[in-house]
Amino acid sequence: MKIRRIYAVTLRSLYSSIHSLDKMTDAFYWPMIDLFLWGLTGTYFITTSENPTPILHWIVAAIVLWTVVYRAQYEISGNLLEELWSRNLVNLFVSPLKFSEWLIGFLAVGIIKSIASLAFAGVLALFLYKFQVLILGWRLLGYAGILLMTGWALGFFVTGIILRYGTRIQAIAWTIVWVIAPFAAVYYPMSILPEWGQYVARLIPITYVFEDMRLVIQTGSGNNINLLYGFALNGFYLILSYIFIRRSFSAVLKRGLVKVY
């Protein structure tokens, strides 16, 4: 792998994002809307609760953290779709660019944009609800790592499917994270899910992030086992999803890249 080619993929994607109103809106508008809607809902809840502060902080912190996993996933699958829409995929891979360099470039873009979205949402949460995301302390880095890895695993999986079946199933790029959201206990404790739903939740790495986040806000300390489970599950899913996307790309090469369009 060559660093300069990874840098070129990253820079190209960042330039495209900066000059695209759609991409800038997606990165900052939706977190802002979520904070307004769910934050106001949380504000209403606290008027009917005996212990109001944790409820609002749980909701706001969940919104801020959720932006990371969505951003990480979409930067992989969304960038592939853009290459397919513009019919540019063949042009990329007739160059010396390697598949691994292409992927790493998208991972780098995902990290940069996730940090930007997280910072924006964090500042907005402080301004609107006086919630400081930094109260999570060093665990915030662990949370971000788990959320990024889950987003990457989902991104690899979605990209592999799109490579195999083309843009006719492109909607999966926007919907996949919302499929797992009800089981990831983003806005509520895992304990309120039905028993079968809790079994599913335990298989989702980011469930442990949101469970631990609520524990930190309520008690001031978390459980390191949650972080361990999150990273362990992500490592397993990343290996599987990378094998899947690699085999999908190899299968496409045998048919010809133009067959993806």
* Cβ contact 159:245 at 8 Å: yes
pTM of the model: 0.88
Task: Give me 8's structure tokens.
Answer: 């070129």
Cβ atoms within 10 A of the Cβ of 115, count? Answer: 14
pLDDT tens across the length of the chain (261 residues): 778 888 888 888 888 777 777 777 777 777 788 788 777 777 777 776 666 567 778 888 888 899 899 888 988 888 888 888 777 777 777 788 888 888 898 899 888 888 888 888 888 888 888 888 888 888 999 999 999 999 999 999 999 888 888 777 888 888 888 889 889 988 888 989 999 999 999 999 999 999 999 999 888 888 899 999 999 999 999 999 999 998 888 888 777 665 665
Dist. CA 60–CA 69, nearest whole Å: 15
Residue 50 DSSP code: S
pLDDT of residue 136: 86
Distances (CA, A) of 178 to 105, 152, 217, 220: 25, 15, 25, 29
If one counts every other C-beta atom within 10 angstroms of the C-beta of residue 125, the result is 22
Around Cβ 24, how many Cβ atoms within 10 Å?
12
Q: Give the whole-angstrom CA distance, residue 227 versus residue 204.
A: 12
Using alpha carbons, select from 164, 150, 157, 151 the residue that is nearest to residue 250. Answer: 164
Residue 259 pLDDT = 60
Specify the pLDDT at position 117. 86
3-state secondary structure of 4: helix
Helices (H), the chain: 3-18, 21-46, 52-85, 89-93, 99-129, 139-165, 172-180, 195-201, 205-219, 224-255
CA torsion angle for 89, 92, 95, 97 (degrees, to 10)? Answer: -110
| Residue pair 161/242 in contact by the 8 Å Cβ criterion | no
